[in-house]
Structure 1
Amino acid sequence: MINVTHRRLLLAILFISINLIILPSRITKSGFEAGSSSGSDGGDSLAFAANTIRAGRGAPWTDSYEPRQTKVRNVRVSFRLHDVENEPRPDKFLSVDSFFCRQNRTDLPAVLQTNGNGRLFDFTTTVSTDLRLVFMGDSLGHQFCQGFEAAVLGRGHEHKRTVHKKYNVGRKVFDCLVSSAPVRGGGAVAFWRYTKMLQRKTWAKITPCYSNERLWGENFLMEILDHKFADEPEGREITVNQFDAAIVRIPHGWMTAEEITKERLVEVVTFAQNLLGVRVVVFTTVGLDNNAIGAEEWAGIEKINEYVHEIASNFKPTSVDGVQWIMVQEWSRFTSAILRENGLSMGYNTSSNDFFFERLVGGETSWAQSVPMVCANRPKDNLHSECRRNKISPDGIHWCVETLGPRFTASIACLLGCVYNERPPDRTTHRGVSRLKKCEHDCNEQFMSLNRISDKYIGNGLTLHSTSSSAI
């Protein structure tokens, strides 16, 4: 632990020194296009409200994987949207068959399909970043990290992904610990699997990789911090050492709602700060899963998400070199909106959430799958055999990364840009906090909602990035 703390202190001093010397320049509006905002049936909807999300050609995008490169206009994370035929769907690293939604799937209902007002899902995302990111969570965090890795490791760069630890359940391969570096833009991405939120008191020197851990191992921590990758042009070796941000999936599938308290969530932030060195924590809100079998369980999920919002809203940094921002990715709102539209197309009464809890019977899984989550039709007597599988969820636990992954990835890149792009927001001022919150809101409104994206922003070589520097 001492080595990690010492390493963090040195890097924190270096980080502050660099930022004092090299003040980031501001992107001008020249050459960038702006669109209007609307709902799922509206017009051009890439919401450039207050210019928090910007689009332009060429820079600040870079296809280089060199770790040491100057970021154009201090944009540290940017992304592009593509036609599916030009950039494959993000499934090349998916390692579990139940993560896939490739074959024998019924199309989404018409309201969720592409129309003249834009697209919801018929695109893919690529990302360029020099940030060092760690995704933490269970198999849902696993599958969407794999989707993000596909977005930062282009063709010919797949070998830069290292699986440190994994376990098998039959033919299914679950990653416990993964490092991808360098990624497009020069950064790094790691995945750390856990099924219980990490606590200091559950530390062990060494733990194995298996499905349901009770302790977390220092060997896991040190492996991703000590991961080395090559600076190919200079022939030097670089060590990850610490991360800029943690993207946290709360493992509700392995913990009861009663176990996931506000105190446990705050401890996750402390853990990420003290041991991983992050300055940003992004919590993904919990959506419907196999454990929410009724209104009472769903109320427990909503309570967890309330805790997340309260923690993010009331957070105050404990040190200048620790976590500065807690952000929220509105995953629950997004997936609930999808299920509501799907349920409506199936003929359910969607005025309440009761239809969420319609469950298949006679299925092959040990859990009862939500009908609107996995079916494209309303099956007779809710029989598993009568369900036509949709492109939303493969099994009532996981989500179709091929469908939802590009929006997940774009939203994460957008949220991180609110902190790290251009001139970072000032945490000590009301104006800085307000600008960050406005940027966070715009990212969620665009990518974690059913707001459509105009065709002109997809497949046209446009680079998108977010910024809090001019948010109102």
Structure 2
Amino acid sequence: CWAGLRTLAHYFSSCYLALCLTTMNRSAIATSFKAPAGQAYYCCCCSRIALIYTIVTAVLWYHLNNNIIISPSERVTTPEAEDTLHHNNRISVSLQKTPVSAADSGYYTRFSQPDTYLCGDEQGKQSLPSTLQKYFNFIASIQTDLKIIFVGDSISAQFAQAFDSAALDEAQEDSVRAKNIFRPDGNRPSIIHICRSICSPIRGGGVSAFWRITNLILKENTKWPSRCTGFFRHWNEGQALDFLNHEYNSTQFVLPSNKGVSHQVNRTTTDYFQKSKLASFKAGNVNVVNGFDAAVFRVPHGWLQLDYIDSARLIETIETTHRILGATTIVIPTLPMSNNVKSENDWKKVTQINRMIRQVARNITKSEGDVQYVLVQEFGNLTNQLLMENAKNLDLLSLHQRDIDYSREGWEVDVANVFLQRPPITTTKWPPSYSQVCSSLPSNRTEACPGVKISSDGMHWCVETFGGRFTASIACLLGCVYNVARPPTDEEIRKCEQRCNDQFMSLNVVRDEMFKN
């Protein structure tokens, strides 16, 4: 509608300008711009129409910019999105407050493997301190027609599985989810790791996939044939083709009920989806993935020497991801504290890598048919802030450290000694820090502390706690690219990216108007 009005304004003003120019004395235009007296009326019309055109164009520009520039991070999270994808909205998320802590709901753990990374009560993990629960008191449900793939190590797998939980209705799991697994311990066959998984179609008709790669995606790291094992550090294009050639139903299935949601997984509902899927395939309603719209690549820094992770290798990884998977939008989470960080020097290197990730995202060269957008998810910022707040709860901070300005660049380097406080005596080769895994400190520092729902082991994060913010953040960031009427400029992308990170990747309370009624 607005585009049509702008076109009409342009058309009529052009007509008047043309009329004016054709009736004015050419010599007068060339010299003094003074028209004969009989034609002054036309010139007056021209100037007035030009002024009107300028005003209309300015109003249109203001309206479009206030809807296109500002809206992506708002539109994907506001109640107006409801349960349907509106005209430009290719990805939406509904946020819902939970009567209990989101970490206690089990919403994000339907597909969690292995279960050794879980942080439930049965794993001896206690809830977050009451002062922190307000930041994690919601769950997110995803709806999208985008094809999204998560690439990385077991931490990436955790959050890919959480995203699947947010994007798949209950009882539909067995009908649409395929996976490739390995068991690292023959004595414990219940411990399962995922090499590859794919869900299709998810709510909204899109695709969600995961590809385990514990290295950067470089030509030097290719190897044939591929193996699904814990220490296979390579990748090859045959693995990518498995994703691209995957066939799935083009029909979206919902349960024959009022809302299409089942809260109880039972044989009846599972049979319904299986029969519907089979009937749809027989009818020829089949899609092929062919290519992904977006990839979320987590740098697997726990598997790499920190000095190995540089800008040239990261750029090659981004470009190769596009080439083999088709993704034109790449999201890269910043790195958090982990038990692989053994010293303050290691921590400085991690923060330097995060700075490098931001620089690459802003400076990567774009060309037609190539990667168009590289977005940064400030996951490291969220976890760092939470660890600091838990350190306050554990009374690990000195007085001058308690008043931290999280907006100041480099604050996390100044408190490295807090993050690195670990048990002095431990049987674990890679011990976690107190602020990662403790709800309180033991009286004897050599003893194990009561667990907290932040991290299971100092490396893996509790998706029960972080799943909502991670999932909403991904939807918000992708909305910056795909929920707009025209391709956004670099400036628009960075503003939208900042809003998404400020809302979901920092300890800011989610605004009430974002929750679904």
TM-score range, shorter chain: 0.7 to 0.9
Runs of 4+ deviating beyond 4 Å = 48-52, 55-60, 85-88, 361-364
Code of the residue aligned with 2:381 in structure 1: it is R
- Aligned residue number for residue 182 of structure 1: 201
- Unaligned segments of structure 2, at least 5 residues: 1-59, 252-279, 402-414
Residue in structure 2 matched with residue 437 of structure 1 by the alignment: 494
Q: Give the corresponding residue for 2:112.
A: 94
Classify 1:101/1:364 alpha carbon distance in 2 versus 1 (closer, same or farther; 3 Å).
farther
Partners of 1:209 and 1:50 in 2: how far apart?
42
Match of 1:301 among 321, 335, 350: 350
Residues 50 and 191 of structure 1: CA distance in aligned 2, closer, same or farther (over 3 Å): closer
Indicate yes or no: 2:214 matched with 1:166. no
| Whole-angstrom distance in 2 between the partners of 1:384 and 1:91 | 29
User: Structure 1: any 5+ residue segments left out of the alignment?
Assistant: 1-25, 35-47, 63-70, 115-119, 427-431, 461-472
- Which residue pairs with 2:44 in the alignment? none
Where does 1:222-301 land on structure 2 (aligned, <5 Å)?
222-232=241-251, 235-301=284-350
Please say if residues 79 and 94 of structure 2, whose CA atoms lie closer than 8 Å, have aligned partners that are also in contact. Answer: no
Tell me, in whole angstroms, the C-alpha distance in 1 between the residues paired with 2:70 and 2:444: 47
Question: 1:429 is matched with which residue?
Answer: none
Deviation at 1:218, TM superposition (A): 2.9
Aligned residue number for residue 391 of structure 1:
453
Alignment partner of 2:98 out of 81, 84, 87: 84
List aligned pairs for 1:292-371, cutoff 5 A. 292-317=341-366, 319-349=367-397, 351=401, 352-363=415-426, 365-371=428-434
CA distance in 2 between partners of 1:409 and 1:96 (Å): 20
Q: CA deviation at 1:384?
A: 3.8
How many residues in Structure 1 have an aligned counterpart in Structure 2?
397
Once the two structures are superposed, the pairs formed by residues 103-142 of structure 1 within 5 Å of their partners are: 103=121, 104-114=124-134, 120-142=135-157
Aligned match for 1:208, one of 223, 227, 236? 227
The equivalent position to 1:74 in structure 2, one of 88, 99, 105, is: 88
- What displacement does 1:315 show? 1.6
Deviation at 1:167? 3.7
Deviation string for 1:203-261 (max 9, x for gaps)?
23421111122321333111111111012366421110111111011101100111111
> Contact 1:164–1:179 (CA<8 Å) still a contact in 2?
no
What is the alpha-carbon distance in structure 2 between the residues aligned to residue 295 and residue 366 of structure 1? 18
Instruction: Check conservation: 1:361, 1:384, Cα contact below 8 A.
Output: no
> Residue 397 and residue 59 in structure 1: after superposition, are their counterparts in 2 closer, same or farther (change >3 A)?
closer
Correspondent of 1:446 among 488, 492, 503: 503
Per the TM alignment, residue 360 of structure 1 is displaced from its structure 2 partner at its CA by: 2.5
Q: Which amino acid aligns with 1:163?
A: K
Distance in 2 between residues matched to 1:173 and 1:139, nearest whole Å? 11
Cα deviation, 1:117-138, whole Å, max 9, x if unaligned, reads xxx1011111001110110000
Measured in 2, the distance between the counterparts of 1:294 and 1:380 equals 25
Q: Matched residues in 2 for 1:93 and 1:371: separation? A: 28
| Corresponding position of 1:465 | none
**SS at 2:227 equivalent:** coil
What CA distance in whole angstroms lies between the structure 1 residues aligned with 2:477 and 2:491? Answer: 14
Structure-2 separation of matches of 1:365 and 1:210: 23
- Structure with bigger RCO (C-alpha 8 Å, 6+ apart): 1
Tell me the distance in 1 between the aligned counterparts of 2:381 and 2:79: 32
What's the CA shift string for 1:134-183, capped at 9, x where partnerless? 10000100101100110101112212111034344333111001111000
**Equivalent residue number for residue 441 of structure 2:** 378
Structure 1 residues 246, 51: closer, same or farther in 2, change over 3 A? Answer: closer
**Structure-2 residue corresponding to 1:149:** 164
Following the alignment from structure 1 to structure 2, what is the Cα–Cα distance between the partners of residues 457 and 237?
A: 36
Asked if 2 retains the 8 angstrom alpha-carbon contact of 1:167 and 1:175, the reply is: no
Q: 1:384 to 1:198 in 2, by over 3 A?
A: farther
- CA contact under 8 A between 2:114 and 2:191: conserved in structure 1? yes
* Residues in 2 aligned to 1:272 and 1:217: alpha-carbon distance in whole angstroms: 11
- The yes-or-no answer on 1:61 pairing with 2:61 is no
After TM superposition, give the deviation of residue 88 of structure 1 in Å. Answer: 4.9
Q: Aligned-pair distance for 1:379?
A: 2.9
Determine the C-alpha separation between the residues in 1 that align with 2:424 and 2:322: 45
The Cα shift of 1:202 comes to 2.4
Q: Distance in 1 between matches of 2:426 and 2:143?
A: 42
Aligned residue identity for 2:155: L
2:114–2:192 CA contact under 8 A, matched in 1: yes
**Cα distance change of structure 1 residues 172 and 360 upon mapping to structure 2, 3 Å threshold:** farther
- Residue 19 of structure 1 corresponds to none
Superposition map of 1:40-51 within 5 A: none
Task: Give the conservation status (yes or no) of the 8 Å contact 2:73–2:496.
Answer: yes
Give the C-alpha shift of residue 85 in structure 1: 5.4
What is the CA deviation profile of residues 11-57 of structure 1, one whole-angstrom value per residue up to 9, with x for unaligned ones? xxxxxxxxxxxxxxx9x99xxxx9xxxxxxxxxxxxx9677413554
Q: 1:294 to 1:424 in 2, by over 3 A?
A: farther
Letter in 2 for 1:339: L
- Using the alignment, how far apart are the partners of 1:52 and 1:291 within structure 2? 33
Q: 1:375 to 1:194 in 2, by over 3 A?
A: same
Q: Which moved more, 1:351-360 or 1:320-329?
A: 351-360
Higher strand share: 1
* Stretch deviating more after TM superposition (396-405 or 50-59): 50-59
Aligned partners of 2:482 and 2:516: how far apart in 1?
A: 25
What TM-score do the two structures reach when normalised by structure 2?
A: 0.73
Q: Distance in 1 between matches of 2:78 and 2:444?
A: 52
8 Å contact kept, 1:167–1:209: no
CA distance in 2, matches of 1:361, 1:218: 45
Per-residue deviation at 1:59? 4.7
Q: CA deviation at 1:110?
A: 3.2
The alpha-carbon distance between structure 1 residues 384 and 133, as it changes in their structure 2 partners (threshold 3 A), is farther
- TM-score, normalising length from structure 1? 0.79
Amino acid in the other structure paired with 2:357: V
> Which residue in 1 is equivalent to 2:481?
419
Equivalent residue for 1:45? none
The question of whether the paired residues in 1 share the 8 Å contact of 2:237 and 2:324 is answered with: no
CA contact (8 A) 1:167 1:176 kept: no
2-side partners of 1:272 and 1:102: how far apart? Answer: 35
SS in 2 for 1:268: helix
Residues 223-232 or 133-142, more deviating:
223-232
